[in-house]
Amino acid sequence: MTAPPIAQQPAPSTDDADNADLWLSPSELSSWLSVVRLITRLPWAIDGQLQRDADVSMVEYMTMAMLAEAPEWTMRMSTLAEEASVSLSRLSHMAKRLEARAYIRREPDPTDGRFTNAILLPTGMHKMQQAAPAHVAFVRHLAVDNLSPERLRRLGQDAERILRRIDSPAR
C-alpha cells in the first residue's frame, strides 16, 4: 500500500532543505488522519441521531439552538450564517424549510430594513426541548463521557486554537 500524497516526499532535489518542513512525519500523518476522520464522521453521526430522533438536521438544530440563546430568540440572518458556519444562501434555504414547519419566521430587521432577522417560534423551542435529552445523551456518549474532564478541556482549547487560525485574516 502506498502512502497518501500528503505523506509522500518529493524526489530529492537541490532545495530539499527548503522543503523538509512541508511533509508530515509518520506520527504527524497518523494524528492528522485521525483528526480528518473525526471532523468527517462526528457531524455525520450527530446528524444521523438528530434525523432519527427529532427529524431535524444537525445544522437545523444548531440554528434553532443559537436562536434560543439570542435575546428575544432573534438574530440577523447574516450573523446566524456566520455563527452556524454556513453560507447565507444555504441558511436561507434552510430557513425556508424551518418556516414551513413553523419553527422560525423571518422578517425585516426593524432597526435596519436592509437586514433580515430570524426568530425562533414557540413550536421551534418546543421541538428543541423535545430533541435535547436524546441529543445530549448521544453527545455525552460519543465525546464528553469518553474523555476525562482534563482531556475534554484540552480538546476544547485545541479546537479553539485551530478555529482562531482559520478565522485569522493572515492565513
Cell of 73: 430568540
pLDDT for 3: 53
CB 58 within 8 A of CB 44: no
- The whole-angstrom separation of Cα 48 and Cα 11 is 44
pLDDT, position 113: 87
| Spatial contact of 79 and 66, defined as CB atoms under 8 Å apart | no
**Please, which residues have CB within 8 angstroms of residue 105's CB and are 6 or more apart in sequence?**
99, 118, 119, 121
- What stretches of 18-149 adopt beta strand conformation (E)? 74-76, 104-108, 116-120
- Quote the pTM value: 0.81
Q: Rounded to whole angstroms, how far apart are CA atoms 41 and 38?
A: 5
Give residue limits of the domains in the chain: 50-131
Q: What is the tens place of the pLDDT at every residue in 5-16?
A: 565 555 555 555
Query: How confident is the model over 138-162, as pLDDT tens digits?
Result: 999 999 999 999 999 999 999 999 9
Within 8 A by CB and 6+ apart from 166, the residues are none
pLDDT attached to residue 52: 97
Kindly list the strands in the beta sheet with 116-120, ordered across the sheet, starting from the edge strand earlier in the chain: 74-76, 116-120, 104-108
The residue-averaged pLDDT of 106-126 equals 96
pLDDT band at 167 (very low <50, low <70, confident <90, very high): confident
Evaluate whether 117 touches 109 at the Cβ level (below 8 Å). yes
- Closest Cα to residue 22, out of 35, 6, 36? 6
Query: What's the pLDDT tens digit per position in 20-45?
Result: 678 999 999 999 999 999 999 999 99
Question: Is the CATH number 1.10.10.10 carried by domain 50-131?
Answer: yes
SS3 126: helix
